[in-house]
Structure 1
C-alpha cells in the first residue's frame, strides 16, 4: 500500500468556502436563471456540490448534471486522448451551462467538453475551475470563473486525488515530492 505522501496545506477549508461563495455570486450575476451546472467527474464533485449549494443560498435553483471524462486512468500523466465514460443525459440545446471542473491545467479536457456541449446547441458554455494552472496550458482555453491560480505543484484533497487517494481531505494540499519523484504532474486537466 505504501506510505502516505507528505501533504502540505495550500488552501484551507475556510479559504475554499469563501472563494466558492464569491464564485457563486459572480455566476448568479452572469446567469440569473435557467442555469445548468455540469460537473466534470471525478475530481470536481466536492467543488460542484458546494457551488450549487452556494447558488441555492443566493436564490438560484440550478439543475445539475454530470459528465465523466478521462485522459489519465490511474496514472499521473495525460495520454492526450479524451474518453467519455459517462455523458450528459439532459438536452443542452439553448441552455446556459456552467461546466465545473477541479483544475484547469492543459485545457484539453475542458476544451473537449465545451466543444461537445456547444456542438449540441448549448446557448452558452462558461467554465468554472476551482484551480487554474496557466503555466501548464496546452490549448487556448481559459476559465470564466477561477477559484485560485495554483502554483505548479501536485495537489490533492477537496475531490482531487493521487492514484485514487486523498480525495476526502477537506482542504487542498500539495504533495511534496519524494526522492523518487512520484508526484511530478497533476492528475487533472
Structure 2
C-alpha cells in the first residue's frame, strides 16, 4: 500500500537538538513553581520530548494537559476556541509554560494564555515547536520557538491530517493538497 509523498522539513536529529536548546532557554528564564501545560492533541510528542529535555536541564515542572479546539474537522481555524479538557491545577502565583505544536492564527494560544492569566498565573510563557508568523490573526508573540515554518500544511511529530501521520518521527508536508492524500 503506497501513501502520499511527504517531504521532510525537520528530521528527528534536528528536532531533538532543538528540544535541548529550547529546554536550556526555558531554564534560563528561571521559572518559579513551573506548571507545564501541553495543549492537546498535536503537541503530545513535542511536549514529551521537551519535558524530558527540561528535566535534563534541571527543571522539575508539574505537568498538565489542556485540550482546546478551534479547527473542528477542518484545516482552517473557525476563530472560536472551545475548551474540551481543562487543567486541574491551581495556577495562582505560578509560572505556566504553554506547550503547543504550532502557532498560526494565534487565537487558541491567546485564549489559553488569557484564561490562565485571568486565573492568577504569575506569568504565562508560550513555547511552540513551529511558528508561521505570516498567519497571525491576533497579537501574540511566543516566548520560545523551535522553528519558523514555511506556509505549508505540516504533518508528523504529533501533527495530523484527519488523525493520520501523527506517528511520524519527523515533521513534513504532503506534496499537493492534503485532501488528495487519501
TM-score normalised to structure 2 length: 0.95
Aligned to 1:134: 133
- Report deviation, 1:34: 2.2
Residue 53 of structure 1 aligns to a residue whose secondary structure is: helix
Q: Offset of 1:136 from its aligned partner?
A: 0.5
- 1:74 is matched with which residue? 73
CA shift in 2, pair 1:81/1:107, >3 Å = same
Matching residue within 169, 179, 182 for 1:182: 179
Contact 2:4 2:175 in 1 (8 A): yes
Q: Do residues 93 (structure 1) and 87 (structure 2) align?
A: no
Equivalent position of 1:30 in the other structure: 29
Aligned to 2:113: 114
Distance 1:106 1:182 in 2: 21
Q: What runs of 5+ residues in structure 1 fail to find an aligned partner?
A: 184-189
The 8 Å contact of residues 33 and 62 in structure 1, kept in 2 or not, is answered as no
1:73 is displaced (CA, Å) by: 1.9
Distance in 1 between residues matched to 2:29 and 2:119, nearest whole Å: 21
Give 3-state SS (helix, strand or coil) of 1:23's partner. Answer: helix
Alpha-carbon distance in structure 2 between the residues aligned to 1:119 and 1:42:
23
| Structure 1 counterpart of 2:165 | 166
Q: How many residues align?
A: 180
**Alignment gaps of 5+ in structure 2:** none
Distance 1:141 1:8 in 2: 29
- Contact 1:129 1:147 (8 Å CA) reproduced: yes
CA distance in 2, matches of 1:4, 1:74: 21
Is the 2:12–2:169 Cα contact (8 Å) retained in structure 1? Answer: yes
Alignment partners' CA distance in 1, 2:61 and 2:139: 28
Q: Distance in 1 between matches of 2:72 and 2:162?
A: 9
Name the structure 2 match of 1:59: 58
